[in-house]
Amino acid sequence: MSENRKKLLYITDQEEYTDHGTIGPLFNGYLKNYCDVYIVYFTKYKNSFQAKGTDYVIPEQYKQEICRYLDVKDVDLASFDFVFVRNMISVLSDVQNNKEKYGFKVGFRASYAKTEEAQEARKAENKANIFKTLGTVYRKYKQDKLIKRCDLFMPTSKNLENEFFANSGVKSFPLPAGLDPARITPHRESDGKERHFIYVGTLDSLRQFEDILIAFAKVKSDNWHLNISTFNPDFAKIVMGRYPTICNKVTIMEAENLNLLMKQVDDCDVGIAILPDKAIYNTTVPAKIMDYYTCAIPALLTDNAKNRTLFSDEDALFCKFDIDSMAKKIEEIIDMTQEDIAKMGHAGQNKLLSHKRNYEIMAKELFQELESL
C-alpha cells in the first residue's frame, strides 16, 4: 500500500464474504483505485481474529468494543484517515469515543432506517407495546446524537435522510444502490414458454410478501413461474405450504454468493420489487432492482413518487401494492412480448449506468468528498 494514499477502515454489519449492497463493488472495489480501504466483517462462527489481506474478520461478541479489540490485534487505528460504520449505532458509539485518541474522521452509513424498521416490524407482528415504543424513542435519540458528531453521513437517499435523520447538521453524501459496470449483461430470454418472474430478498410480514403470493394465485393465466431467491429457504417453504394451489408454480432457491444470484436473475424475465406503501420503503429505491437491471430485466415497482423520480413507464413496470392491482399487472406482464420486455430492461440498465447509479462513478465522487473533509 502506498504511504501517500489515504486509508479508510469500513466496519460493516455484514458477515465474511458478503457481496451485500455497496460493500463489494464500491468500498471493496472501485474506491480502492483512489485510497487504501480495509473492511471489517463480523462472524458468528469463529472465535478468533483473522486478517486476510485488507479484510479483517472479527468474532461478533467484540462488536461493542471494536476499537480496543483491533488495538489488541495490532491494527494501527492511528494510521487510518477515516473510519466508517455501517448501520450499527453501538459500534458508532465506540468509534466516536475513540476518535480523538486516534485522530481519524468518522463516517456513518445508513443503508436503511434500522430503528424505525424494527418498530414497524413489531407493529406488523402485533408485538409493539409502550415499553418497546419508548425503547425505540430512546434509541432514536441516541442515534441522532451520535450522527451529529460524525464528519460525514451517508444515507441511501436524500429522502431517507429528510424523513428519518432530519436536522443532523452533518455533511451528507447519499450513497444509493447502483450497478457495477463490470457485471452488467444484456437481456437473455428465459427458457420455456412461461413468463418467469423472480423475487429476491426477505419474506416477512412487514413486506407483506404473502400478498404477492395471493396476487399470483388470482392470476387467470397459467403461463407463469415464480422463482424466490432468499437467505431463508426453509421459512419460504413454510410460507408456500399455505398456498397449495400455486406451489407447483413456485421454485424456492438460495444464492450463496453474488455470482449465483446473478445467474438466477439472468434466467428470468421480470424482477419483483414491489413493496407496501410505508415511509421506510417510499424513501429509497429498492436495492434489489439493481440485481435485476444488472441483467437487463425490468422490475415491477410500487407506483410511488420516489420510484418515479428514477424510472418511467419506458424502463420499469408500476402498480399499486394491493392484491387486485398486482394480479392485474402480472397478467399484463404475461401478455407482453419478449421484445418489449427486453427493450424495457435495456432502457433501465442504460439509464442507471448513465446516471449516478454507477459504482465506478460513485467511488470517484465519494473520494472527492473525502478529500474535502
Indicate the pLDDT class of residue 3, thresholds 50, 70 and 90.
low
Question: What is the domain range of residue 316?
Answer: 195-354
Does the pLDDT at position 167 exceed 90?
A: no
| Shared domain check, 284 and 321 | yes
- Number of independent structural domains in the chain: 2
Residue carrying C-alpha cell 437487463 = 296
Q: Is residue 185 part of a domain?
A: no
Q: What is the CATH number of the domain that holds 35?
A: 3.40.50.2000
Q: Are residues 201 and 150 in the same domain?
A: no
Query: Cα(317)–Cα(195) distance, rounded to whole angstroms?
Result: 15
Model pLDDT for residues 230-288, shown as the tens digit of each residue:
988 999 999 999 999 999 999 999 988 888 999 999 999 999 999 999 887 888 888 89
For residue 134, pLDDT over 70 is answered with: no
Kindly state whether residues 251 and 157 are assigned to the same domain.
no
Taking the C-alpha atoms of residue 213 and residue 240, their distance in angstroms, rounded to an integer, is: 8
CA distances (Å), origin 306, targets 19, 252, 261, 309: 25, 30, 26, 5
Average pLDDT over residues 310-333: 97
- Phi, psi dihedrals of residue 60, rounded to the nearest 5°: -60, -30
Contact (Cβ atoms closer than 8 angstroms) between residue 298 and residue 188: no
Residue 189 maps to a domain:
no
Q: Is the pLDDT of residue 302 over 60?
A: yes
Look at 82-86, 144-148, 312-316, 338-342 and tell me which has the smallest mean pLDDT.
Answer: 144-148
* Ramachandran angles phi, psi of 169, nearest 5°: 75, 10
Q: Which pLDDT value is given to residue 127?
A: 58
Can you give the pTM of this predicted structure?
0.85
Any domain includes 268: yes
Q: Name residues whose C-beta falls within 8 Å of residue 102's C-beta, 6 or more positions apart in sequence.
A: 67, 77, 78, 80
Distance CA 219, CA 296 (A): 25
- Residue 184 within any structural domain of the chain: no
Taking only the tens place, the pLDDT of each residue in 276-296 is 998 878 888 888 999 999 999
